[in-house]
Structure formats: structure tokens, C-alpha cells
Amino acid sequence: MSRPVIGIIGNAYLQNDQYPVQASGVMNSDAVAQACGCMPIIIPSNPAHVSVEELMAVCDGFLLTGGRPNVHPEEYGEAETEAHGTFDRARDGIVLPLVRACVEQGQPFLGVCRGFQEVNVAMGGTLHPEIRELPGRMNHRMPPDGTLEEKFELRHDVTFSEGGVFHSLMGAQVVRTNTLHGQGIKEPGARIVMDGFAEDGTPEAIYVQGAPGFTLAVQWHPEWNAHQDPVSRALFSAFGDAVRDWAAKGNTPALKAV
């Protein structure tokens, strides 16, 4: 039995404030293995280590994960300010061209939180540096205290366009999600369809119009409890199906399960 390969974009950070690592949360691998039914592979998000062409040859699809550093505003034509937070230029350097290449070739990806923002920026869109500072917006950031369960608890509704892609996928027009982000879409990029919004008008679900493959992205974190939560399970299941379809066409090699 073989499983298609989903590359999980890793994040750079310092372990014990000293040792540089590239890593991904276990919940991302759990979501890929359990809810997608695919093989998770963690990718070092640095163009010094990997190329877009190599990644697309090895992986059948990509999970564009969340991460604490933000996309650098120079990537969408704005100057850096303190409000933009911290950055990871190496991740910008590999993921943004990867998104554009996948859109072009039809190779599936699922964007989550920072990944959602990367999809918009890759297609020419811009970002607000801090959503909670906008009039009428709620605080979408992770609660500073509490257990992981409390941080990832469902906190607001997302309403999808009636009859749209996400409505059809979920079987519901309104779903309940968690929220753990500071930035968000200001202007959508070319072909970006904003298909779902939080109660305060913040864009929460997008896809690339006319793309030949799966290009869905969400601003929340569906990887949390992905195998059991009905909203997360529907999203990752559809992503897994798209990856299997891509692999079945012989576009990329699948790893043989041991």
C-alpha cells in the first residue's frame, strides 16, 4: 500500500534560545497522516536547502503551516514597521514561489494561518499588520494564557459564500472555528476569491480562481483536532483526496509505506 506525500512547511526557531532548528508542530503531521491519509514530510523552509523544483518533484501536495514570524512587507510593496512583528525571509524565499508554481501546475496545497497570508501575498495581495487595531475588528490573536485546549478552542463563526466552494465542501454555510492570528488580508491578490468571513468582516477562507488544482487556504488552525472536528476533518479530507488524485495521475512519486 502506498501513500501520497504531503510536504509540511517547517519553521525556523531557536531551541532553548540557542540551537537553530527547523520544525513543525506534531498536530500538522497528525492532520496529514490521520485526516488526509497521506505521508507527512517536514520541509526545511530555506532556499539554501531546497528548491521549488525539487519539492514539487518529491511531494504530491503541500501544507503551508502557520508560524510566528510574518511575511515581510517588502514582499507586497510596503515598508517594515514595528507593527509587522518578526520575519522569516528564508521561508518567504521558498514558499511564495512555491505557491505560484503550484497554482500554475495544478499541484495541491492547503494554506493555514501564515500559509493563508502567503497565498494572498504570492498572488499579489497585501496584509494588515495588526487586525485588532482596525475599527470594528475583534482580537484574533491567541489567548496569552491557558492550556493548549483553551488556546485552540472554537471562538468565532465563519460564514461562507452561499453555494461557494467552502459552503459545498463543508455542507454548511456557517461554521465555528478557532482564531490565533494577528495579521490578515488587506487587499486580495489577483484571482484570490475571499469565500468566508469572520463576524467582524475579517477574511477567513480563500482560494485561487481558475486554478487547475486544490488551492484552498484558511486563516484559522484546522490542524488542531483535525481528525475529530467536523470542520477540520472535511477540509483535510478534501485536501487528501486532491493529493491522491494528483499522485494517481503519475505527476509525482508516492512513497511506499513500510
SS3 117: helix
Distance in angstroms (rounded) separating the CA atoms of residues 68 and 59: 24
- Residues identified as active-site: 113, 221, 223
β-bridge pairing 109-112 and 61-64: parallel
Q: Which of 74, 86, 76, 66 is nearest to 185 (CA)?
A: 76
Distance in angstroms (rounded) separating the CA atoms of residues 50 and 62: 14
Give the containing element (helix H, strand E) for 241.
helix 230-248
Distance in angstroms (rounded) separating the CA atoms of residues 36 and 3: 10
User: For the residues of 174-215, what is the DSSP string, one character each?
Assistant: EEEE----S-EESSPPTTEEEEEEETTS-EEEEEETT-SS--
Q: Which residues make Cβ contacts (< 8 Å) with residue 150, sequence separation at least 6? A: 143
Q: Interior CA angle at 170 toward 167 and 171, to 5°? A: 75
